[in-house]
Structure 1
Amino acid sequence: MPAGPSTSRRSLNAATTRTAMEQPAMAVWALTARGCDLGRRLTAELGSSLFVPQKYAAHPTERAFQHFASAFPEQFSRFQHHVCIAATGIVVRCLGPLLRDKTTDPGVVVLDQEGRFAVSLLGGHLGGANDLARRLARICGGQAVITTATDTAGLPALDLLARDLGLVADRPERFATLAAALLDGERIQIFDPDSLLWPRLSELGFAGLFKTIGEPISWRKDIPGVWVSWRRPPDEQARLGLHPRRLVAGLGCHRGVSATSITDFVHEVFDANRLALPSLAALGTVQARHGEPGVHSAAATLGVDVAFFSPEQLQAVWTPNPSEAAARLVGTKSVCEAAAMLLAETDTLVVTKTKGAALTLAVALRSRPGDLRDFPE
């Protein structure tokens, strides 16, 4: 394998992925003197930031505020989790206007000043509030209050499983649809040809809630289902697609190409070949296009990383559709096919070179999920 590409790095799924570099982990809010005492104890245990009324501030590290109703909204999106040692009603009134999306809203737990009850109020699953409430209850010797239906019914939290397994949902709102079906006692069909989700469900004891589908032709449109694949699923109302980030695309383009031209062409090729766009992990192209704003902007729009290979790296790869014209222009007989193969670390292609207006695209499949942080440097 030739030396690895130079890369441009970014979060693969900015809409749903939160990292410690992007957001501090936790804010603890206290409103009363007794609540501040509990907040200091929790802060020492959790390594969180402590917010207290100005009149109760006792240490330079404590962040003082005048009014909770104005201070909390300012900090809401800056933390992954909020612990509010306060009355539930006060927090609810502040939260209402702040809510945006269950996949990105932080987790919020309300705790009484005695530490008796830790109430998971917002973001129980993806926001981590359920687990945080349980942790707080253990620290305080109190009780976690969890009201999410799947938890109370002992059913699988598909959104958490998908996140932990690196599967990207095509329509996250449909997690709720499937949860409702499970709560109603319906059996969910699951198409998982690469065994990405099913083994975990079986290991957790949920096999009886699902019916495995061996072939796409066996998929039924009249019952809810989970489609786990890098291929695009059927478009039924009760279907949820969960996709591993295993596809990489090699891109050939002329100078001055626009981001819109690239993204439209990627969509076109993926649609034509029934590939799941959420499975796209990276774009790769020749080093000569490193300075093209359209390439970087398209990668950002698609939410993927982009790699740039030297002509020597690309020329060393055998490809099915070499081009003498490309060799004259950029010093290698293949750009899109060779780049896709290098990114996927494979010698086969899912989609061979496809031509568009001043563009070419090829797609390959990695043997394992990943982004450019996993590719050789």
Structure 2
Amino acid sequence: MNIAVVAITRGGLALGRKLAAALDRATLLEKREQVKTADLLRDNWHRFDGFICIMAAGIVVRSIAPLLEHKKTDPGVVVIDEKGKNVISLLSGHLGGANDLTRRVAAILGANPVITTASDTLELAALDLWARDCNLVPPAPRILTTLSAKLVNSGSLKFYSDKEFGSTPEGLERVLTLSEADFAISNRVYGDSDLPFFRPRDLVVGTGCNRNTPASEFKQALDELFSELGLAPGSIRNLASIDKKNDEEGLLKFATDNGWTIDFFTSDEINSLKNLEISFAALKAVGAIGVAEPACLLSAKSHLLLSRKRKWKNITMAVAQVPSTW
């Protein structure tokens, strides 16, 4: 976390120097007399992941109000009084890291950490942080807010998962059927369920293609494949292919449109895999025993193919699952 320590008084600067020295990746921003606090924060707002402001909370609130965009992108903001008695998590407590930063700073100063988010004060799971740490794609923000409110109000939530789960945070209980659950975790589509789903990013789609295949054909092939398999596209971690396709415009656009990266592998890397069916067409065209199946297995670091190679006119696709336990 790249942290800015901002102070506006002589006493605040002394405290700021102490914190900047004690924290990793912390920079002290000294306000010059002719510069407004609001301008100092505005000019540095996108340079840092977190801000420690040693000043009155009201000054900070008025200064950052025009800068706020969304809790997913706003930096964490912590406020400290000049005497270092109270450390307040003011903004982006969960995703922005302000709550954790508050605890760290309070420990350094021997101060009182002030955290007001309900899940923290009640010592319950913060669903957004839990999803991020487990590499789960949460449901829509409105639904996530509803689930979080239910957790805070009732003290517990029940969830269904079709994969093994390790320890769960306080307030979350795993159940064995969808009918018992408040939400579910799965890379599969359950057509008769209206539960909110958290999607694990544990699927890799390997693909080969003919030259100049448009992005629309990749979308059509993927939609057909995932519909037949009953898999959720929201669980796709990335695509994979052979390096000879790293300039294929349709493939690159398809990945970009969906926010996916592509892992590319050489023919030597692909040919190092054993016990795969050899594609003589791929061997002739690109010098590899195949593309879709070996590429997704290499990317996923897995031996589990959820789908063998499927063929369309210009495209081949296969799906591998990333080994994982939450």
TM-score of Structure 1 vs Structure 2, range by shorter chain: 0.7 to 0.9
Q: What secondary structure sits across from 1:220 in the alignment?
A: helix
Q: Quote the offset at 1:177 in angstroms.
A: 1.9
Q: Quote the offset at 1:172 in angstroms.
A: 4.8
Q: Quote the offset at 1:342 in angstroms.
A: 3.1
Closer, same or farther: CA 302–115 of 1 in aligned 2, 3 Å = same
**1:184-203 matched pairs, under 5 angstroms:** 184-185=153-154, 187-196=156-165, 199-201=166-168
Contact 1:337–1:352, Cα closer than 8 Å, also in 2: yes
Of 140, 165, 186, the residue aligned with 1:171 is 140
Closer, same or farther: CA 343–132 of 1 in aligned 2, 3 Å = closer
Task: Give the residue type in structure 2 aligned to 1:293.
Answer: E
Of 80, 85, 93, the residue aligned with 2:62 is 93
Q: Which sections of structure 1, spanning at least 5 residues, go unmatched?
A: 1-19, 56-64, 370-377
Task: Give the residue type in structure 1 aligned to 2:18.
Answer: R
Normalised by the length of structure 2, the TM-score is 0.85
Q: Quote the offset at 1:220 in angstroms.
A: 2.8
Identity over aligned pairs, percent: 36
Aligned equivalents of 1:200 and 1:365: distance in 2?
22
Match of 1:12 in 2: none
Alignment: residue pair count:
323
Aligned equivalents of 1:142 and 1:314: distance in 2?
56
Closer, same or farther: CA 277–212 of 1 in aligned 2, 3 Å = same
Match of 2:96 in 1: 127
Normalised by the length of structure 1, the TM-score is 0.75
Of 73, 77, 81, the residue aligned with 1:104 is 73
Task: Give the residue type in structure 2 aligned to 1:239.
Answer: P
Match of 2:16 in 1: 39
Aligned equivalents of 1:159 and 1:248: distance in 2?
24
Contact 1:349–1:365, Cα closer than 8 Å, also in 2: yes
Of 292, 306, 313, the residue aligned with 2:262 is 306
The answer to whether residue 149 in structure 2 is matched with residue 180 in structure 1 is yes
Residues 247-283 of structure 1: CA distance to partner in whole angstroms, max 9, x if unpaired?
A: 1111011112334543554355334433233432332
Match of 1:81 in 2: 50
Contact 2:136–2:198, Cα closer than 8 Å, also in 1: no
Q: Quote the offset at 1:346 in angstroms.
A: 4.2
Aligned equivalents of 1:224 and 1:347: distance in 2?
33
Residues 173-212 of structure 1: CA distance to partner in whole angstroms, max 9, x if unpaired?
A: 543222211122164221123233xx322xx5x3xx4443
Contact 2:158–2:174, Cα closer than 8 Å, also in 1: yes
Q: Quote the offset at 1:323 in angstroms.
A: 4.7
Aligned equivalents of 2:141 and 2:208: distance in 1?
32
The answer to whether residue 246 in structure 2 is matched with residue 290 in structure 1 is yes
Residues 150-189 of structure 1: CA distance to partner in whole angstroms, max 9, x if unpaired?
A: 1112212222233233333243554322221112216422
**1:261-280 matched pairs, under 5 angstroms:** 261-263=217-219, 265-280=221-236
Match of 1:351 in 2: 307
**1:4-153 matched pairs, under 5 angstroms:** 25-47=2-24, 48-55=26-33, 66-153=35-122
RMSD: 2.9
Aligned equivalents of 2:159 and 2:205: distance in 1?
27
Residues 211-265 of structure 1: CA distance to partner in whole angstroms, max 9, x if unpaired?
A: 4332xxx3139x632x22332466977624141x321111011112334543554
Residues 82-124 of structure 1: CA distance to partner in whole angstroms, max 9, x if unpaired?
A: 1111222222223333223322221111111121211111111
Q: What secondary structure sits across from 1:350 in the alignment?
A: strand
Aligned equivalents of 1:186 and 1:140: distance in 2?
32
Aligned equivalents of 1:117 and 1:32: distance in 2?
17
Aligned equivalents of 1:124 and 1:237: distance in 2?
30
Q: Which sections of structure 2, spanning at least 5 residues, go unmatched?
A: none
Per mean C-alpha deviation after superposition, the further-off stretch among 231-240 and 153-162 is 231-240
